[in-house]
Amino acid sequence: MQIENINSICCIGAGYVGGPTMAVIADNCPNIKITIVDLNEERIKLWNSADLTKIPVFEPGLKEIIKRVRNKNLFFTTDVENSIANCDMVFISVNTPTKTKGIGAGKASNISWVEACTRQVAKYAVGKTIVVEKSTIPVRTAEAIKTILENNSEKNTSSGGCSFSVLSNPEFLAEGTAIKDLQNPDRILIGGEDEVSIQALKNIYLNWVAEEKLITTNLWSSELSKLTANAFLAQRISSINSIAALCEVTGADISEVKKAIGLDSRIGQKFLNAGPGFGGSCFKKDILNLTYLCQHFGLPEVSAYWEQVVRINDWQIYRIYKMVINKLFGNVTNKKIAILGFSFKADTNDTRESPSIFICRELLVEGAFLSIHDPKVSSTQIGLELGDIGEENKSNWSHSIELEETFDNADAVIILTEWEQYKKIDWDLVASKMRLPSWVFDTRKIVNLEEIKNCDINFWQVGLGDNHI
Ligand code: NAD
Ligand code: UGA
């Protein structure tokens, strides 16, 4: 039987992609029943919690959608078997982190979670099932998925057997703007061979996305486009950060350079904000995956080219840390440093690969006391990310709930995340609470120079340095 309209979807993986993506589909497609399954019971419990401030992913606009659709046509469960058996389409939305051991360790993506859930689909699917890769995966992963599924398509012969079709439908949402991105995507990319399945997936998106935004390619182009998009985006950040460093030593101002180059319509203004280095769960892992693939396919020069994007990023984080130490006379022992922001960007509670982690860890190891503020990240999460910092340092940080208290007797403030509330800080007031000589390090370029230059504070800003004094 050919499926043209999908009545039920199962999404495997209730994370930062699975949750928001399915919520937006459910909101726009009230006739489709969507079940999100995850092996992590705690996560599912939180998605089902009556108090919507407790859902595990913070995204502006998400809880309002969850309120509308949860237990109407969107369900969260750990029941993998029934969720797969009762659906027409399965989205694989599980994590694909960098391998930590074996061949390709440190670069290649670990697709063991993708393989594990493919085997679950093979085991429990009934009738025709369309399997959609939503996770970001190495090129040609669809081949492995197909092979696993085809080896199982003869089962259940009494009920007519089961059949599968595999599509690639990478996700381009950015955290912090996930709902906006999903509601109004630049494009929806679908890679595949089976026209009927492609049309079935298109029909879902056509409920709210204009047809001209739906583009189709072969499977491998779709898989590779996702890695390439992330590599190009990250490359822009490493490019602007490298020029920011040059600005700081030459007297140029990165804001002015950004404006001047961005007005060239071929370059454009977007994604050119200098910062402490990119964080997030994907840029680094996806570029490293790309470099591994290039090496695997005999293209070492291409691999080295993209690897440099990650190296510049690591260097940017390190140079900011080193600069802070230098400005504080090469010594932070027993100094109090206020850290503003722990998430990898504003408007998300995600801390994965956040530059704050490295900077805070190193400062603690150097002997500093940290007062860490973030409006959405919990102290448990901060503690988990800081990991083992040594017995002697483990009580040298505190999670500051009230922003105002963060500055009391601090020697320095480091702004690491561009949360809106940090843009409204009264620096005169802050100066009166800090110990002299005090420093503010703005790695996000959110402090207005005019508002701070007459305060009794030394000021450093990314892409400007302290050249303004
Ligand atoms: P995540 O870690 O937040 O969520 C993945 C979830 O999958 C976890 O809750 C985990 O318990 C679950 N899971 C793993 N194996 C399972 C199995 N066999 N059965 C059921 N559940 C299982 O990850 P994420 O940030 O949502 O990313 C998922 C994928 O999407 C990754 O490949 C990532 O590269 C890609 N992606 C992420 C983003 C983003 O902004 N986070 C954007 C685009 C693409
Ligand atoms: C990124 C991409 O933007 C998404 O398209 C993609 O789907 C996603 O990765 C993914 O595959 O996971 P995300 O990491 O959520 O999204 O957020 P971004 O807005 O891209 O920011 C990434 C990092 O770059 C953040 O640390 C951010 O602060 C930094 N950044 C971003 C800059 O330093 N400067 C900029 O101009 C933009």
Q: How far is CA 374 from CA 218, 348, 361, 401, 423, in A?
A: 43, 10, 16, 8, 14
Residue for token pair 């203004």: 269
The CB density around residue 294, as the number of other CB atoms within 10 Å, is 18
- Alpha-carbon 94 to chain mean position: 14
Predicted pLDDT of residue 14: 98
Predicted pLDDT of residue 1: 44
Q: Does residue 304 have a pLDDT over 50?
A: yes
Percent of the residues in the chain that have a pLDDT greater than 70, as a whole number: 97
Q: Which two tokens stand for residue 351?
A: 């801390």
Nearest CA to ligand 2 atom 6: 172
Mean pLDDT for the chain overall? 96
The answer to whether the CB of 320 falls within 8 A of the CB of 441 is yes
Calculate mean pLDDT across residues 34-52. 98
The 10s digit of each residue's pLDDT in 200-235 is: 999 999 999 999 999 999 999 999 999 999 999 999
Query: At residue 413, what are phi and psi to the nearest 5 degrees?
Result: -125, 130
Calculate mean pLDDT across residues 122-145. 95
Q: What angle do CA 276, 228, 446 make, to 5 degrees?
A: 25
Q: Does residue 158 have a pLDDT over 90?
A: no
Predicted pLDDT of residue 5: 83
Q: Is the CB of 16 under 6 A from ligand 1?
A: yes
**At residue 360, what is the residue type?**
C
Q: Does residue 159 have a pLDDT over 70?
A: no
Nearest CA to ligand 1 atom 20: 38
CA distance linking residue 336 with residue 386, whole number of Å: 17
DSSP H stretches of helix in 398-448: 403-406, 427-433
Q: Which ligand is nearest to the CA of 93?
A: 1
Predicted pLDDT of residue 203: 97
Which of 371, 367, 464 is CA-nearest to residue 414? Answer: 371
Nearest CA to ligand 1 atom 37: 17
Calculate mean pLDDT across residues 242-271. 97
Predicted pLDDT of residue 467: 72
The answer to whether the CB of 339 falls within 8 A of the CB of 356 is yes
Q: How far is the CA of 15 from the centre of ligand 1 (A)?
A: 5
Is there a catalytic annotation at residue 11?
no
Q: Is the backbone peptide bond immediately before 300 cis, with ω within 30 degrees of 0?
A: no
Query: At residue 97, what are phi and psi to the nearest 5 degrees?
Result: -70, 175
End-to-end CA distance of the chain: 73
Calculate mean pLDDT across residues 282-311. 98
Catalytic residue among 10, 11, 87, 282: 282
Q: Which two tokens stand for residue 36?
A: 């999100």
The 10s digit of each residue's pLDDT in 60-89 is: 999 999 999 999 999 999 999 999 999 999
Which of 357, 364, 301 is CA-nearest to residue 333? Answer: 364
Q: Does residue 112 have a pLDDT over 60?
A: yes
Strand segments (E) across 278-400: 336-340, 369-373, 397-400
Which of 466, 422, 467, 462 is CA-nearest to residue 273? Answer: 462
Q: Which atom of ligand 2 is nearest to the CA of 229?
A: 5
What residues contact residue 178 under an 8 Å CB cut-off, 6+ apart? 16, 20, 59, 62
Bridge partners of 74? 34, 70
Percent of the residues in the chain that have a pLDDT greater than 90, as a whole number: 94
Calculate mean pLDDT across residues 8-36. 98
Nearest CA to ligand 2 atom 31: 271
Judged by DSSP in three states, 70 sits in strand
Q: Is the CB of 352 under 6 A from ligand 1?
A: no
Local structure of residue 86 (DSSP, 8 states): T
Q: Which two tokens stand for residue 251?
A: 């007297």
Nearest CA to ligand 1 atom 10: 13
Q: Ligand 1: which of 93, 132, 228, 344 to mutate, most ligand atoms within 8 Å of CB? A: 93
Residue 161: pLDDT band (50, 70, 90) is confident
CA distance linking residue 189 with residue 142, whole number of Å: 15
Q: Is the CB of 138 under 6 A from ligand 1?
A: no
CA distance linking residue 356 with residue 385, whole number of Å: 10
Q: How far is the CA of 221 from the centre of ligand 1 (A)?
A: 22
Q: Which ligand is nearest to the CA of 285?
A: 1
DSSP letter string, 145-201: HHHHHHTTTTS-GGGT-EEEEEEE------TTSHHHHHHS-S-EEEE-S-HHHHHHH
Q: Which two tokens stand for residue 277?
A: 């280095």
What residues contact residue 239 under an 8 Å CB cut-off, 6+ apart? none
The CB density around residue 61, as the number of other CB atoms within 10 Å, is 16
The 10s digit of each residue's pLDDT in 400-419 is: 999 999 999 999 999 999 99
Q: Which atom of ligand 2 is nearest to the CA of 353?
A: 26
Q: How far is the CA of 136 from the centre of ligand 1 (A)?
A: 9
Nearest CA to ligand 2 atom 34: 273
